[in-house]
Copies of this chain bind each other. A is one copy, B any other.
Amino acid sequence: MAKEAYVGVDLGGTNILAAVVDKKGKILGEFKCKTEGERGASGVTEQMVGAILAAIKKAGMRKKNIAGIGIGVPGPVHPQEGIVVCCANLGPTWNRYPLREEVGRRIGLQVAVDNDVNVGALGEYLYGAGRGTKDMLAIFVGTGIGGGIILNGKLRSGARDSAGEVGHMVILADGPVCGCGEKGHAEALASRTAIERDIRLALASGQPSIIPQLMEETGHTVMSAGIIGDAFDAGDEPTREAVRRAQYYLGILISACVNLLDPEIVVVGGGMLERMGEPYLELVRRVAEQHYINKAEAARVRIVRATLGDHSGVLGAAALARERLAQ
C-alpha cells in the first residue's frame, strides 16, 4: 500500500480527536480522548501521539502507510517553524512550544501545524463546501469569529502569520467593545457572544423572554447556540431581534471582505450556523449584496454553509498535512 493517507489531529481544550483520512477526505479510522490539560504540553503531546497511533490501528493501517500528520491548535501558531505561540485554554507550558518537532520526533513522521481556524478553512476548501473553487474565504461564527483565506489554492498565513482575523475587522467604528478590548470589531457585533450580550440587555430592561427558563432547565450559565436557537424557534422576541442584528452585521462583514478580496466563495460555519442552519444565511446574503461594489455580478459571489461540521478539525488537519507536506 502506498502512502496515501494522512492523519489529522484536532487538539481542543476538551477533547483530542485523531483520524486517518484518505485523499478523498474519507475517514478510515478515528480515535478520541479527553484532553488532560493539567499534564502540560509534553503530556498532551504524548496523548496526541497515542491517539494518532490508535487511529492508524483502527484504520487497519501501519505507520509506513501514513504520508504525514496535520495538527490544528486552538491558538496562534507559526506554521513554518511548527511552533505554537500560545494556547489560552491549555496553559503556559504551550508558550512557544515546538509542537511539530516534539510530535515528529516521537512518531517518526513529518508533521504540519497551524491554528484550528485556518485548518478548518483548509478542510472546507479541500473536502467541504469550497471544493472545486480557487479562492475561498471561510468565516466561523461561534463564541468568537475566526476566518481563513485560501487564494489560488493556498492557505494564506500572512506576513506575520496573522491573516484571516475577520473577527477583528472594524465594521462599526466606536461600536461595542470586543473581547480583544477594542471597539466596533465584527466579533463584538455578530458572534454568539454579541447575541448573548444583546439578549441580556433586553432582559435587564424587563422585556419578556423564555431565555431565563431555558437556561434554568438546561443548567447553563452561558447562552449556548442551542439555547439561542430554541428561543429563536419559539419566536422569543428579544432573541429574534438580537439574532437579526448579528445576521445584519455578519452580512456587513462579508461585504467588506468581498470588496477587498473578491473571493469566489464565502463559506460560513461554526456553532451558530450549525444550530441555525441555512435560513440564517438569507438575511446575511441580502445585506452583503447591498454593499458589493460589483453589484452587476453580485450573484456570482456564493455565500454558503460549511459542510464538514464536527469533523472539520480532523479533516482540515489532514488537508493541512496533504497541502504542506505534499512532495
Contact = CB atoms under 8 A, between A and B. Distances in A.
A301 interface: yes
A149 B263 CA distance: 13
A172 interface: yes
A283 interface: no
A291 interface: yes
A23 to B, nearest CB: 26
A168 B259 contact: yes
Interface size class of A (residues with CB under 8 A): 35 or more
A162 B293 contact: yes
Interface stretch (A224-232, A235-243, A249-257): A249-257
A291 B170 contact: yes
Instruction: Determine the main DSSP class of A at the interface with B.
Output: loop
Interface string A278-295: 000000000000111110
A149 B173 CA distance: 23
A162 B259 CA distance: 7
- Which 8 pairs across A and B sit closest by C-beta, in order of nearness? A158-B262, A163-B262, A162-B294, A169-B256, A159-B264, A168-B293, A165-B259, A165-B293
A170 B263 contact: no
A189 B174 CA distance: 14
A135 interface: yes
Interface string A117-137: 000000000000000001100
Interface string A146-162: 01010100001111111
Interface string A50-71: 0000000000000000000000
Contact of A259 (B166, B172, B255, B301): B166
A257 B158 CA distance: 12
A300 interface: yes
Nearest to A134: B159
